[in-house]
Structure 1
Amino acid sequence: MAGGEFDMIRRITADLEQSPTTILGPGDDAAVLRLDGDAAVTTDMLVEGVHFRRNWTTPFQLGRKAIAVNVSDVEAMGAVPVSVVVALALPIGLEETWVDQFSAGVREECARSGVSLVGGDLSRSESITVCVTAIGEFRGSTPVTRGGAAPGEQVAVCGRLGWSSAGLTVLQRGFGSPKELVVEHQCPTVPYGQGRVAAAAGATAMMDVSDGLLADLGHLAEASRVAVDLETDAFAVTDAIARVCAATGKSPWGFILAGGEDHALVATFPADVALPEGWLRVGSVLEGEGLTVNALPWQGAAGWDHFAR
């Protein structure tokens, strides 16, 4: 890449818009932020060959996805996302246009999610790795953790479930349709703002659905020391997912309940709370431990595990 590291940094950070929380943005040893109350901080990586393939995902889509999957975790705490820093490791010989398009995707998703890019790092590597840290502020509210669910409460979700994993199945078969599923795998549609909405409505526990609904609910149930039962009648099987199932012989519940990289939100609410608009009741919190589906043990994988054998 012509121009070197510092020329690339200037191109990535040129004319970045900053929010009022940014006192000092890119260009110094660290950014300086003015936050309202406690802060939520999270980080996530996207590694070439593990989370994405260049022949399946454009650099613009990867830039958007890198921001989306991190900001989703801030949303899941009930915080207001405000800033991100992006660390990028690239192989020598990568086209300058790749960096420009990636940067455009980052800027696009920052605008969608309401965050400012305030800094980051660049390095050389054999393959592309993106690491993003996202920061949110609570503005006087209390964090919504995984450990607050109680028996008798309702389980609800907000966002698209199963679309990403169905899209991955389509790509693995060498096809590009249904396009809406493929696009969702390339970059998830995060329900921005809904974490704060859920917190204000009385959510007692909440998580980002990244490894699969069952897998992530398992973490929530363990942290809260409760059991959870999901009801498949509550979910709608979209026409696009039904078409993939018809072509592959797979069950839609493998996608909807155990598919990864959805980046929807799942939360528990007291039984007498009216769910906010956009949230769907899908199950119940019970005494005990573990997960069931329609009151029966789930047969099959519950979601993605990087180190499962």
Structure 2
Amino acid sequence: MNRQEQKRILITGAAGFLGSHLCDRFMQDNFHVIGMDNLITGDLRNIEHLFKLPNFEFYQHDVSKFVHVPGQLDYILHFASPASPIDYLQMPIQTLKVGSLGTHNLLGLAKSKSARILVASTSEVYGDPLISPQSEEYWGNVNPVGPRGVYDEAKRFQEAMTMAYHNFHGLETRIVRIFNTYGPRMRLNDGRALPTFIAQALEGEDLTIFGDGTQTRSFCYVSDQVEGIYRLLLSDYALPMNVGNPDEMTINEMAQEIILATGSAAKLVHKPLPIDDPKQRRPDISKAIKILNWEPRVSRGEGLQKTIDYFKALPEEELKRKDFTYYKQR
């Protein structure tokens, strides 16, 4: 592919967990990748290996403010947002702004560049669901003024605005609803169960479970998630689509698997369940299977071992940076 044929893609949230893996994927396919991140939750270490490459550039910028990118743009991936409970409870206004103003700015940029845009939504649009598995047709059970509302409603508004641009302006848009994803480059101190369990197990601490542990999650390994997002971007499907792993398990089961995989002697310690914490998470991925010819391929055992190996390789002080602020506020 020569320089004139090379596609150019803007990826916001590029220094984050998923954003950095998406940068890798599009770089591998010889795209010219423009990464953008304000670094309030992202980490440049996730993308520093790309800085020396000629078809990668990076801008530290808050997309809630006006976004300008010179030259042609073929695609935009909007992945900028605090995404963990600790983050969006410490930064509620920023979370709402990036989902509203940031999305508006990037949709406007896509319109001006005639670019296709994919926005990262989340299974949190389903709230604490009353049905399982959750299909794209389910409207959700969300508390707009609860502690999680700043994130849930930011994403629901983001979807509504994206569809408005699609329907009113004819903009090429895609919406991915991301379910629980894990793998290397996750932050240990973001309050989510899986990285916290791994850190506790590696440090020889007991594993902290909030609630009785019977609430369920469905964990998708990051390479599978990235592949689903990649295929959705290049598809012709404009409505929201679930991308996740339907292999549902309880939090207790996940904790026990991590104890076994790390060889830890830890016990499970239970604390009160946070307000509005979802009791079930399981995606219906029938649309992704049919339209994208996609489904997860990495087994949980394989993905968990890769994730544990990544955390084992971190400096010891990183493992000690666990933070339960999210739960202390409950």
With normalisation by structure 2, the TM-score equals: 0.25
With normalisation by structure 1, the TM-score equals: 0.26
